[in-house]
Amino acid sequence: GNSVTQMEGPVTLSEEAFLTINCTYTATGYPSLFWYVQYPGEGLQLLLKATKADDKGSNKGFEATYRKETTSFHLEKGSVQVSDSAVYFCARIEHGSSNTGKLIFGQGTTLQVKP
Partner 1 sequence: DVKVTQSSRYLVKRTGEKVFLECVQDMDHENMFWYRQDPGLGLRLIYFSYDVKMKEKGDIPEGYSVSREKKERFSLILESASTNQTSMYLCASSRDREDTGELFFGEGSRLTVL
Helix (H, G, I), strand (E, B) or coil at 84: helix
Q: Which is nearer to partner 1, 37 or 113 (CB)?
A: 37
CB of 97 to partner 1, least distance (A): 11
Cα separation of 61 and 99, whole Å?
32
Q: Count the site residues for partner 1 by CB under 8 A.
A: 25
At 21, which helix (H) or strand (E)? strand 19-21
Q: Name the segment binding partner 1 (CB under 8 A); options: 20-28, 36-44, 56-64, 73-81.
A: 36-44
Q: Name the segment binding partner 1 (CB under 8 A); options: 18-26, 46-54, 60-68, 70-78.
A: 46-54
Cα separation of 108 and 9, whole Å?
8
